[in-house]
Amino acid sequence: MPLVRIDALRVDKARLEALGRAVHEALMETIGIPPDDLFQVLVGHDGVNSTLRYGDYLGVHRDEGIVYIAITLRAGRTPDRKRALYRRIAELAEQYAGTEPRNVFVTLTENASIDWSLGNGVAQYVPSSTD
């Protein structure tokens, strides 16, 4: 049950939607999330009232086409699965939204099953105890 946040600079609704679709499809293909497991926060920044900062770090030149993708998910994926996810997100972001792969910045934050409540004040992934 990933929660995805995508931040992009000077984008319209169609491009944000395309980025969201790219990330969702990559998650389904590489780590096997179900199609209806779609929880995303899509944010466009205008560059004036809100903006994104970026630099040329580790030899990757970034520019105003930068897209930050933050994914929170339960722990347990192998390094190979994570690499496949990063690669597929970059491929699909380019295909669907025209975002150059060098501008696709992805972070994963892992947590435990108890760290999720999907509604109704219940930790759905962890059975209730009778303590």
DSSP letter for 58, please.
T
**Tokens representing residue 95 in the block:** 């295909």
**Tokens representing residue 49 in the block:** 């009232």
Query: Hey, what long-range contacts does 29-38 have (CB within 8 A, 24 or more apart)?
Result: 29/88, 30/81, 30/84, 30/85, 30/88, 31/73, 31/77, 31/81, 31/85, 33/1, 33/2, 37/1, 37/2
83's CB contacts (< 8 A; 6+ apart) are none
Looking only at the bridges linking them, the beta strands covering 67-74 and 40-45 are unpaired
Q: Active-site residue 2, yes or no? A: yes
Q: Which of 2, 34, 35, 127 is catalytic?
A: 2
Active site residues: 2
